[in-house]
Every structure is written in C-alpha cells, then in structure tokens.
Amino acid sequence: MTERASSTDRDVEHHQLLAHGCQNDHFTVPGHPRCPACGEPQEKTLDLTKKTGIVKTWTRVAATPPGVREPNTLAIVEFALEVDTVSMLGGTIEQVSLGEQVRPVYIDTLRDADESVRQGANQSWGGFRFEPVSPDE
C-alpha cells in the first residue's frame, strides 16, 4: 500500500473492519477525509471486526460483471454503536434473511481485478463478507 492509500485501503490491508468517526460521534463505513454529517475530520475508529450486525436488506444478483462471482449475494448490514448505528454493504457467504444476525469474515479477493473496468492498482480488492451467526453461539 502506498502512502496515498485511502482509509478504505488501509483498513483492508490490516484485515480490519473499522467504522470511522468524528468528534461528534458520527460514524461511517468506509471512512471519509471529512465527516459527511458535520464536516469535522474523522479522527477515531471503532473496530467492528469481532462484532455482529443485523441484515437490513439483501439481494441475490444473477447477472454480474466480468470477474465477479455469479450469483452474487449482497446485503446491507447494520451495526449498533453506543450512540448510533452504522451500516455497510457486503457480500454474504451464504443465504441470509431480513433481521438475521451476521458476522464479518475477511476475504482476500472479492473479485478478479484483472477483468474489471477499474484498474487493479486503483483500490484494494479484499474486504469483508458476512455469514450468519448460528443460534447456539
């Protein structure tokens, strides 16, 4: 990773799922140079890597771009924070349902960058997918 890498790239490099927040406790995944809600710098992080979230919505995509698994199951998952919630988009490892509890699992290569329109060096290609947390855990 170069020194120009974004916070998204750095998080991926460290296999961490981090929510990025400002002094006013607005958190986002991914991070931004300035807080989208108030414009302050995002200078703190919350580690979601070992946390579980709730499936807010999901889809199974039958037609995917070159280099992307087919079908591609995607979900928006919401994590509860102390004062707020933060959402993120991710693939799912198996079928999920609305309201289901899921946990993040790090995946080295989410899609084949050699086949994508975007240049391979433009961004990181690892990240987190979600798997259901079984009821007895």
Partner 1 sequence: MDVAVLGASMTPFGTREPWVRELATDAAIACLDDAGVDPSALDHLYLSNMASGEFEGQTGVMNAVAHDIGAVPAYTQRVGQTSASGGAGLYAAWQSIASGASELTLLVGAEKMTQQSTGEAGDVIASLTHPAEYAHGVTLPSFAGLTARTYLERYDAPRESLAHVAVKNHQNARRNPDAQFQKDLDIETAMSSPVVAEPLRLYDYCPLTDGSAALLFCPVSVAREYTDEFVVLSGVGGATDTHVVHERDDPTWMSAVANSGRQAFEMAGCGPADIDVAELHDMVTLLEILQLEAFGFAERGEGWRFAVNGTTALDGSLPVNPSGGLKARGHPLGATGVAQAVEIYRQLLGKVDGRQVDAERGLTCNVGGFGNCVTSAVLEVAE
Sign of the four-CA dihedral 29, 47, 113, 6: positive
Among 57, 94, 120, 131, binds partner 1 (CB under 8 A): 57
**What residue 65 binds from partner 1, Zn ion, none (CB within 5 to 8 A, per partner kind)?**
partner 1
**What residue 59 binds from Zn ion, partner 1, none (CB within 5 to 8 A, per partner kind)?**
partner 1
* CB of 38 or CB of 98, closer to Zn ion: 38
Phi, psi (rounded to 5 degrees) for 122 = -70, -30
CB 133 within 8 A of CB 103: yes
Burial-class residue 10 by CB neighbours within 10 Å (0-12, 13-18, 19+): middle
Judged by CB under 8 A, the chain residues 116 through 135 that form the site for partner 1 are 116-118, 122-127
Q: Measured from the CB of residue 136, what is the shortest distance to partner 1 in angstroms?
A: 28
